[in-house]
Amino acid sequence: MSKKPGRAENPYKQAKKLYQWIMENMQEKPSPPHERGAESSLISKEGDCGDYSFIFTAACRVLGIPARPVFGEFLSKRGNKQRRAHAWANFISQNMGGFPSIQPLRRELN
């Protein structure tokens, strides 16, 4: 397995380290429903937005950082602008005053 993300002195910095680990070690690749989830995605180092959000959420919770996966829709910019499902994660960071959002496949941590 790849290098672990390491520890940080506050929850926001720890979450950022987890995010960076996901971005450096995972490859975007949708999987069939029976192969999805944090465990199988960590083994294969592949997944979609849902898998990434589950990995991030699970890792945060192990470290004592309250986190939750979030699911919603967005309008695709491609073609006929159809609705598409998307997943991301929120975590509590008192340093940031609330629920920062992490969207690895969009390369966003805010």
Q: pLDDT digits over 31-75, tens only?
A: 777 777 788 888 889 998 888 889 999 999 998 888 899 888 877
User: Does residue 81 belong to any structural domain of this protein?
Assistant: yes
* The total number of structural domains that make up the chain: 1
User: Does residue 97 belong to any structural domain of this protein?
Assistant: yes
Query: Which domain does 18 fall in, by range?
Result: 11-109
Residue 93 confidence (pLDDT): 72
Q: Which residues contact 58 (CB under 8 A, 6 or more apart)?
A: 38
Strand partners, 109: 102
User: Does residue 30 belong to any structural domain of this protein?
Assistant: yes
User: Does residue 2 belong to any structural domain of this protein?
Assistant: no
Q: Which residues contact 33 (CB under 8 A, 6 or more apart)?
A: none
pLDDT value at 79 more than 70: no
Residue 110 confidence (pLDDT): 58
Q: Which residues contact 22 (CB under 8 A, 6 or more apart)?
A: 52, 55, 56, 104
